[in-house]
Amino acid sequence: MITIIDYGLGNLASIANALKNLEIPYEISSNVDILKNAKTLILPGVGAASQGMKNLKTRGIDKIIIQQTKKGIPILGICLGMQLLLSSSEEGNVDCLGLIEGEVKKFNTDLKVPQIGWNQIKYQNSNIKNQKYKPKIKKIFQNIPNNSYFYFVNSFYCNPKNKSLITATTDYGKKFCSILIKKNIIGVQFHPEKSRDVGLRLLKNFYESSLSF
Amino acid sequence: MLIIPAIDIKNGRCVRLTQGKFDDITIYSDDPVQVAKGFERDGADLIHVIDLDGAKTGKPTNLYTIKNIIKSVSIPIQTGGGIRNLETVKILLDTGVSRVILGTIALEDEKELIKILKNFAYQVAIALDTKNGKLMKQGWLKNSDKNIVITAQKLEKFGVKRFIYTDVTKDGTLTEPNHKEINNLVDNVSVPVIAGGGISSISNVKRLKSTGVEGVILGKALYEKKINLSKCMKIFDL
């Protein structure tokens, strides 16, 4: 079962719908006891990092996420959820969960607005080959060809310190990290739940790979 | 799939034309800002704002209204109508527009288009506005005689990242979109295509979704209440 973390931000219904369509068992929870026992986590998110971290902290969920991921529980961070995994964000100058060393940065300080719509992912093959993560995680990319289009709506992007964690990049005037993976932690900048068949495939692959953790 | 409501502006007012004819006009509101706020409230992720006076004259004319819309909503705005050079593109992007829509310039001034794409490829969408398979320009008043697919493929080679398709003959008619031409376009380009023109029902939108468009633009159907925006968004949320 996938546990979608409810911390007051994020399009939980869209993700739930996607999992329902895929016939993947799921629950949505903000309860720390339930989250402590979760086998697989999704950290969704739409909005600002400062609000996100505030919400996670007031509910005590930040500590649980850190605790569980250190135990090896697989977690998929989506959009803002991915960004909160990093050390800090320029959006609101806020400290985040710190599970991945690095900063969340704004695309271009002159342009005020987000990218919105489909954009392509390009696998960083050398990083994929050299990563020491379990082969089970490679299942996430099964049947998702290079240059697949996913739905993005973001003004900020993740800049991990360890570049070898960057599994795929996307070009938006500047190449940025669209997928990062560190052992059991997966972050995607796009919204797989809004990315048609490839997005659903990614969610299905994530779930199936999580079963063997 | 994106459901994108449209606001066409003429003399500061929110209007709809039929088949692009400037003398077949219905005024829906004196206050485009309120219309934009309404769309935002209904859950829109992006609004399509066209400066009709700009399209006709070749220079943005309703910039003041567009700026007000941007100030009043927090969702992205894409805009077109009379954007004919790099300088104007810069001005609009600085104003806070998310994406500029270029029509005429893609057909008349390739050099300028390439300059714009060099700096802002990801902030540009090219409008492919057709009448019987040929691309229209200058506020849909002139026919370029250029074939849509051949032109689109050429533009893709220049680095265009996105197209917005409208069948001029269907636009504002509340009939149905030109499915055949849209299918053909989507099959022959590899970048995202947003489609509009004549959409009048949820089943039109469903069919466009299965075609593989990135988004649909809804105009008159919303103003004449043939489609309810928030209901539509709920259906196509995935």
Q: Is A1 helix (H, G, I), strand (E, B) or coil?
A: coil
Asked if residue B36 has pLDDT above 60, the reply is yes
Rounded Cα–Cα distance for residues B123 and B117 (Å): 8
| Structure ipTM | 0.93
User: Which tokens belong to B25?
Assistant: 């006009």
Label residue B152 by pLDDT band (50, 70, 90). Answer: very high
Q: Which pLDDT value is given to residue A10? A: 84
Active-site annotation holds for B8:
yes
pLDDT under 70 in chain A at which residues? 109-112, 131-137
Q: How distant is the Cα of A137 from the closest Cα of chain B, in angstroms? A: 25
Testing the interface with B: which of A112, A147, A197 to mutate, by most B Cβ within 10 A?
A112
Q: Which residue of B lies nearest to A113 if distances are taken between CA atoms?
A: B98
Q: Which pLDDT value is given to residue A212? A: 79
Q: Where are the beta strands (DSSP E) in chain B?
A: 2-10, 13-18, 21-29, 47-51, 77-80, 99-102, 124-131, 134-137, 142-147, 163-167, 193-196, 215-218
Domain boundary assignment for chain A: 2-210
CA–CA distances in Å: residue A9 to residues A36, A78, A79, B64, B81: 20, 12, 11, 34, 36
Fold of A2-210: Rossmann fold (3.40.50)
A173/B238 Cβ within 8 A: no
Q: What is the DSSP letter of A211?
A: T
Q: Which pLDDT value is given to residue A136? A: 64
* Total domains present in chain B: 1
Strands B134-137 and B124-131, by their bridges, are antiparallel
Q: Which pLDDT value is given to residue B49? A: 98
CA–CA distances in Å: residue A116 to residues A42, A156, B125, B179: 22, 12, 12, 24
Q: Which pLDDT value is given to residue B59? A: 95
Taking the model in full, what pTM does it have?
A: 0.94
Q: What is the pLDDT of residues A9-61, one digit of tens each?
A: 988 999 999 999 999 999 999 999 999 999 999 999 998 999 999 999 999 99
What CATH number should be reported for the domain holding residue B76?
3.20.20.70
Catalytic-labelled residue, pool B51, B53, B129, B171: B129
Average pLDDT value for residue range B227-237: 91
Q: Which pLDDT value is given to residue A101? A: 97
Domain containing residue B209: 2-235
Catalytic residues of A: 79, 191, 193
DSSP labels, B93-127? HHHT-SEEEESHHHHH-HHHHHHHHHHHGGGEEEE
Q: Which pLDDT value is given to residue A127? A: 79
Q: Which pLDDT value is given to residue A135? A: 67
User: Which tokens belong to B167?
Assistant: 């069948």
Rounded Cα–Cα distance for residues A125 and A211 (Å): 25
Active-site annotation holds for B129:
yes
Testing the interface with A: which of B77, B93, B122 to mutate, by most A Cβ within 10 A?
B122
Strands B13-18 and B193-196, by their bridges, are unpaired
Which residues share a beta bridge with B16? B26
Interface of B with A (CB under 8 A): 1-2, 45-46, 76, 93-94, 96-99, 120-123, 162, 192, 214-215, 237-238
Length of chain A: 213
